[in-house]
């Protein structure tokens, strides 16, 4: 590498390292164990630069602290990504960014698609709004464009390291595949905990859908289903790629956890996606392996496990009710898709490059003409004092996790202000999963017209059994939230205290001086936040150019994988099933509005196009990538 290149590389690494240290140090939550864990990982990565191939796929689905930190634009996983790049750039033996071995058509298509996303990101970002407390605290912000774009940006940022790291099938099997399996198991364990703590593992009739670690679903979405669609086919790698009886047991555990998690989503498209992926995978494996009996035997075991888990779930009242409403829900979807396209500007810029990445929630909020529009919240600064302004509309709950003890008395104190005589602030205190509430204390505070003056209000309540949890896991999470349900009113909130019997305030950032820190919102109506179709989402936010380039890129990737299957490569079968499952979920999910899901998709796409092809040995004792 030239001196100039080395200086640029070191400068970039230094800048990334500074951003990482700043991000970790400023994180409002887990201020001890998170920096220690990140520091240990970076030290281990310095000693073993290939470790990231395991860690990034493993942490991608599970490392999200946003419900506790309140930061959902840039958070814990982002800092790990930045630090990983910094270490790999600084490591003397790190990659020298060799010429990509992507097939030339794939390289052009991927590059053009990334360029179209970049243009659409600027369309959504401009004109710039002030970098104030509201810039990174809600999805109506123009900076939401950066949040959405970072998934594609991260995928390309990892590409040089992916290209040099996955130069052999051995490395894929040693690092990347176990990382995928570890992430799936982590998601499955959290799903088990979520079910047990709120409903029990075998209650299949109650209206409760898990989100596991995908806290981006606080505004709805099919992110968990998309993740499972992508990673479940990789469990087959434990049986046909990895050697040793221990991997058979790992595969059985991972498959059981993954299937249970899939079933507990109660997602009709998730079930259909799993079926399509299974058909693709087992059909391809039957073609690949000469000993068909082994594949048939494994298929029978998988089918047995699916039936064992699925039959009780499918007989439950909740999923039966969902299946019964399929036609009605489809009509709602069609109407919603048509409405989304009608919201687009009628000019060539919007047609070619869309309304901009991350623009749909903002556009819906600004143009919706229905009876009830979406709610909003903002942080207002007045005389050097920052407070929360909560507007009415579709239910939006801005809340904070609190550590309540059962059968204790608590006092809530807060300052309120409004200009409307009808203003009432609802304050639910509930055991809370991401989207469902249990055992609530629904406090109401009449505010009225305070003539522009702050007034202090207070209430006392008893926790009862709240926070007690079930017998296996104690202490269900509890959340205090604010909700303004009175039409055409605003309520200003400041100086919130939740005081226990010992006189301790349990809330963090109750004066909102740090904006959204520790506060996290959820909603009931998901339609204002998603288009709920991947292709219509692409047309809306990226235009027809992004739509066409995406389809060409996916089409070429599928063509490349089919060629791998014809060469009897089982990894190509796994990857094709993975991408196929993702596309099925995309029928009802605008998946690229989640940066973690878009990163995962392009990660898997790059791996598919850089597939270490079985049966090719270039003299290193391991199978290596095939130049195309």
The ranges assigned to domains in the chain are 1-94, 158-328+528-625, 377-523
> What are phi and psi for residue 245, nearest 5 degrees?
-65, -30
What digits encode the pLDDT tens for the residues 162-185? 888 887 778 888 999 999 999 999
For 377-415, write each residue's pLDDT tens digit.
999 999 999 999 999 988 999 999 999 988 999 999 999
Q: How far apart are CA 103 and CA 110, in angstroms?
A: 10
Q: What is the pLDDT of residue 121?
A: 97
Q: Looking at the domain covering 377-523, what would its CATH class be? A: mainly beta
Rounded CA separation 54/506 (Å):
38
Q: In this predicted structure, what is the pLDDT of residue 616? A: 37
- pLDDT for the residue numbered 626: 33
Selection from 121, 43, 29, 44 nearest residue 75 by Cα: 29
Query: What is the model's pLDDT at position 151?
Result: 95
In angstroms, rounded to a whole number, what is the distance separating the alpha carbons of residues 360 and 345? Answer: 12
Residues whose CB is less than 8 angstroms from the CB of residue 469 and which lie 6 or more positions away in sequence, other chains included: 197, 475, 476
> What would you report as the CA-atom Rg of the chain, rounded to the nearest whole angstrom?
25
Residues constituting the chain: 628
Structure confidence at residue 169 (pLDDT): 78
Q: Do residues 345 and 299 lie in contact, with contact meaning Cβ atoms separated by under 8 Å?
A: no
Q: What is the structure's pLDDT at 370?
A: 63
- pLDDT on residue 93: 54
Side-chain-facing half-sphere of 162: CA atoms under 13 Å: 25
What are the distances in angstroms from CA 146 to CA 64, 97, 143, 418?
A: 18, 26, 5, 34
Mean pLDDT, rounded, of the chain: 90
Q: Give the distance, in angstroms, between the CA of residue 69 and the centroid of all CA atoms in the same chain.
A: 16
pTM: 0.94
Q: What is the pLDDT of residue 100?
A: 47
The residue ranges of the chain whose pLDDT is under 70 are 1-5, 92-100, 294, 369-372, 469-474, 611-628
pLDDT value of position 308 = 83
Residue by residue, DSSP assigns 137-190 as TSTTSTTHHHHHHHHHHHHHHHHHHHHHHTSBHHHIIIIIHHHHHHHHHHHHHH
Predicted pLDDT of residue 102: 81
């Amino acid at each position: 590498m030239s001196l100039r290149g080395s200086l640029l590389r070191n400068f970039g690494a230094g800048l990334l390292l500074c951003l990482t240290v700043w991000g970790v140090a400023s994180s409002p939550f887990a201020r001890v164990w998170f920096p220690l864990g990140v520091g240990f990982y970076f030290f281990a990565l310095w000693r073993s630069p290939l470790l990231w191939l395991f860690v990034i796929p493993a942490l991608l689905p599970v490392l999200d602290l946003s419900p506790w930190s309140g930061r959902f634009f840039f958070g814990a996983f982002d800092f790990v990504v930045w630090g990983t790049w910094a270490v790999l750039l600084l490591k003397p033996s790190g990659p020298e960014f060799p010429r990509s071995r992507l097939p030339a058509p794939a390289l052009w298509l991927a590059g053009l698609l990334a360029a179209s996303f970049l243009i659409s990101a600027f369309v959504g970002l401009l004109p710039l709004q002030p970098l104030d407390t509201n810039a990174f605290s809600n999805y109506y912000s123009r900076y939401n464009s950066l949040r959405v774009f970072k998934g594609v940006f991260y995928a390309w940022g990892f590409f040089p390291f992916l290209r040099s790291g996955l130069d052999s099938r051995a490395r894929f099997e040693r690092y990347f595949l176990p990382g995928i399996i570890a992430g799936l198991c982590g998601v499955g364990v959290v799903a088990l905990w979520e079910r047990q703590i709120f409903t029990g593992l075998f209650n299949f009739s109650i209206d409760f859908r898990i989100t596991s670690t995908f806290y981006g679903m606080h505004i709805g979405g099919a992110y968990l289903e998309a993740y499972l669609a992508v990673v479940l086919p990789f469990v087959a790698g434990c049986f046909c790629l990895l050697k040793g009886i221990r991997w058979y047991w790992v595969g059985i555990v991972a498959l059981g956890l993954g299937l249970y998690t899939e079933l507990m989503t109660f997602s009709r498209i998730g079930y259909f996606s799993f079926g399509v992926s299974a058909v693709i995978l087992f059909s391809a494996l039957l073609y690949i392996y000469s000993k068909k009996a082994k594949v048939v035997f494994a298929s029978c075991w998988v089918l047995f496990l699916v039936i064992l888990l699925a039959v009780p779930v499918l007989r439950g009242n909740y999923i039966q009710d969902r299946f019964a409403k399929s036609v009605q829900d489809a009509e709602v979807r069609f109407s919603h898709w048509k409405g989304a396209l009608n919201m687009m500007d009628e000019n060539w810029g919007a047609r070619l490059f869309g309304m901009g990445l991350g623009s749909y929630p903002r556009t819906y909020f600004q143009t919706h003409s229905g009876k009830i529009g979406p709610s909003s919240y903002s942080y207002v600064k007045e005389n050097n004092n920052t407070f929360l302004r909560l507007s009415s509309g579709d239910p939006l709950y801005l809340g904070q996790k609190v550590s309540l003890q059962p059968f204790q008395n608590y006092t809530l104190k807060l300052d309120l202000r409004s200009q409307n005589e009808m203003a009432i602030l609802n304050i639910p205190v509930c055991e809370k999963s991401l989207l469902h509430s249990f055992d609530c204390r629904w406090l109401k505070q009449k505010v009225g017209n305070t003539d522009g003056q702050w007034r202090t209000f207070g209430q006392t309540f008893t926790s009862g059994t709240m926070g007690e949890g079930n017998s296996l896991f104690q202490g269900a999470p509890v959340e205090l939230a604010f909700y303004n349900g009175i039409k055409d009113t605003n309520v200003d909130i400041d100086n919130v205290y939740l005081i226990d019997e010992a006189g301790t305030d349990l809330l963090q950032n109750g004066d909102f001086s740090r904006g959204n820190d520790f506060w996290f919102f959820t909603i009931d109506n998901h339609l204002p936040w998603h288009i709920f179709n991947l292709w219509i989402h692409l047309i809306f936010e990226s235009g027809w150019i992004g739509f066409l380039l995406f389809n060409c890129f996916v089409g070429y990737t599928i063509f490349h994988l089919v060629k791998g299957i014809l060469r009897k490569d089982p990894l190509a079968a796994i990857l094709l099933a993975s991408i196929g499952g993702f596309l099925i979920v995309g029928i009802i999910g605008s998946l690229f509005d989640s940066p973690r899901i878009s990163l995962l998709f392009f990660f898997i796409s790059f791996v598919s196009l850089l597939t270490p092809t079985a049966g090719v040995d270039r003299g290193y004792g391991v199978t290596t990538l095939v130049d195309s």
